[in-house]
Structure 1
């Protein structure tokens, strides 16, 4: 275990610390939300705000307000806030952040499981390759689902705050290129690792 752990350091220690800190923050925040006014974790308790990405405007008053030099135009993107949101608005507010949080926590848990298994059983095993493949699929599918879910939730929330059809998912959807290419890289390395495991087993069988 000790020898195998050297192969996965310092990532193993960093992931373990981050997971502990995240669990501690969530637990402390939840406890404080029960007893301290103004502290809220998760559902309800505060205002709901959304920035209307893709909608902008400018005026001479805006230019003067932000100290623009002569000949310089300042464009502003409006942010809509409601102090007392309804239950559905609170749900949409939560859905704007929850998917990415679940993606991150799930990814850290899978990564921690991968590193622990590699430290215990060895890096070049079928189990390690399978866990690496699972992490890759989680990141690939999860990043796309998270981005789409959050974009839909933001557009739906904005639609409850503005008049007209200015809330569109297209203005709020960003393709997570980095996550996609990272996931594809993990899946590729998982396949390479699996082939290496098969070759090693064949060599051991012939000796």
Structure 2
């Protein structure tokens, strides 16, 4: 990959990072409104509802075994505890995404300025850092999300459930983090082998 394409990719990801920061600020503002102002419009608390009535929904030759739905709930007035739990519901994932994007942008910035581009010790360190960000951030997102959603459902819905499974993105984030650690180790060992070869020559 040439330096020109690395630079273009860095610019694109930097743009995504800036947009994501504005999105995070928007979510933070909505959380503050829910906690201290209360509103019937705007961003609400997303929750999952199971055992949705399915009578009459299936075709004559089909059977629906179960159904679930995503609902958006807004408290009728200021709700500080709801705001705090809502913050725990979305903030870990957003922070993980921002840190991951920032790390990738830094890695591309260093890579485009070096002689060996992506194949360097600095890039290996960035990949290792990215891997741990994805692993720890995804696990925190899943754990805090399960707890926060359970408490929010008990407060905002007439019926809640003892356990809400984390979304599939949590597992995907952990797998991606492990993959980044593996790639960083491959780059590190490749660099060590290259240095030994150059020293021998």
Q: Is TM more than 0.5 here? A: yes
For 2:78 and 2:161, how far apart are their aligned partners in 1?
A: 18
Partner of 1:130: 125
Instruction: Tell me how far 1:119 sits from its aligned partner.
Output: 1.3
Partner of 1:5: 3
Matches of 2:90 and 2:177, distance apart in 1: 21
Indicate yes or no: 2:142 matched with 1:144: no
Deviation at 1:163, TM superposition (A): 5.5
Question: Is the Cα contact below 8 Å between 2:124 and 2:187 reproduced in 1?
Answer: yes
Deviation at 1:75, TM superposition (A): 4.5
| Aligned pairs (5 A) from 1:122-201 | 122-162=117-157, 166-168=160-162, 170-175=163-168, 176-201=170-195
| CA-CA distance at 1:157 after TM superposition | 1.0
RMSD: 3.2
Q: Distance in 1 between matches of 2:6 and 2:180?
A: 16
Give the paired residue count.
188
Q: CA deviation at 1:110?
A: 0.7
1:83 deviation in Å?
Answer: 2.0
CA displacement, residues 63-86 of structure 1 (integer Å, 9 cap, x when unaligned) = 4xxx76567669564845422242
- 3-state SS of 1:171 partner: coil
**In the alignment, which residue of structure 2 is the partner of 1:205?**
199
Give yes or no for contact 1:124–1:197 (8 Å, CA) kept in 2: yes
Bigger shift: 67-76 or 95-104? 67-76
Q: By how many angstroms is 1:191 displaced?
A: 0.6
Task: Point out the structure with max Rg over C-alpha.
Answer: 1
5+ residue gaps, structure 1? 34-39
* Per-residue deviation, residues 137-180 of structure 1 (Å, max 9, x unmatched): 1111211111221121111111223467x332x32323533222
Note closer, same or farther for the CA distance 1:185–1:123 as it changes in structure 2 (3 Å cut): same
For residue 8 of structure 1, give the secondary structure of its aligned residue in structure 2: helix
Taking structure 1 as reference, are residues 26 and 190 closer, same or farther at Cα in structure 2, changes over 3 Å only?
A: closer
Using the alignment, how far apart are the partners of 1:182 and 1:78 within structure 2? Answer: 26
C-alpha spacing 1:193/1:162, structure 2 compared with 1 (3 Å): same
Question: In structure 2, how many angstroms separate the alpha carbons of the residues matched to 1:50 and 1:119?
Answer: 41
Using the alignment, how far apart are the partners of 1:25 and 1:81 within structure 2? 20
State the TM-score, normalized to the length of structure 1.
0.74
- Secondary structure at 1:51's aligned position in 2? strand
TM-score (norm 2): 0.76
In the alignment, the residues of structure 2 paired with residue 99 and residue 154 of structure 1 have an alpha-carbon distance, to the nearest angstrom, of: 13
1:181 Cα deviation after fit:
2.2
How big is the shift at 1:184? 1.7
